[in-house]
Amino acid sequence: DGGITQSPKYLFRKEGQNVTLSCEQNLNHDAMYWYRQDPGQGLRLIYYSQIVNDFQKGDIAEGYSVSREKKESFPLTVTSAQKNPTAFYLCASTRTLNQPQHFGDGTRLSIL
């Protein structure tokens, strides 16, 4: 079955450590997105990518970095510069233009 796979489901970060969240899709979608979800705040866009080797900052990109070396993969790195990284992170993809976004099951990041 086609879909979006996020791993790991739970992740713990130590102070000063960078961590990378994985997002892989086999839907042949061009565009991919990373959102952060906090209680009572809905989803906020971190980064998005419309094509390989290109990506744009969303509304809350500070302290995060991404890469898009393959169409299927869009990993998100939470750097030590992100002072409040505890949240639920969702990856999404779409065929682009007029198509709904499909979501993975998320990664919950916590601080040790």
Residues that bind another protein (CB under 8 A): 4, 6, 31, 35, 40-45, 48, 50, 58, 90, 92, 94, 96-106, 108
Minimum Å gap between C-beta 99 and another protein is 6
Residue 57 tokens read as 């900052």
Residue number with CB closer to another protein (16 or 42): 42
Q: Would you say 60 or 80 has its CB closer to another protein?
A: 60
Nearer to another protein, 36 or 78 (CB): 36
Mind giving me the DSSP string for 15-44?
Answer: TT--EEEEEEE-S--SEEEEEEE-TTS-EE
Residue among 58 and 63 whose Cβ is closer to another protein: 58
The residues with which 59 forms a beta bridge, in sequence order, are: none
Cβ 78 to another protein shortest distance, Å:
18
CA–CA gap between residue 68 and residue 62 (Å, rounded): 18
Smallest gap from Cβ 79 to another protein, in A, equals 23
| Least separation in angstroms between CB 108 and another protein | 8
Complete DSSP assignment for 42-101: -EEEEEEEEETTEEEE-TT-TTEEE--SBTTB--EEE-TT-S---EEEEEEEE-SSS---
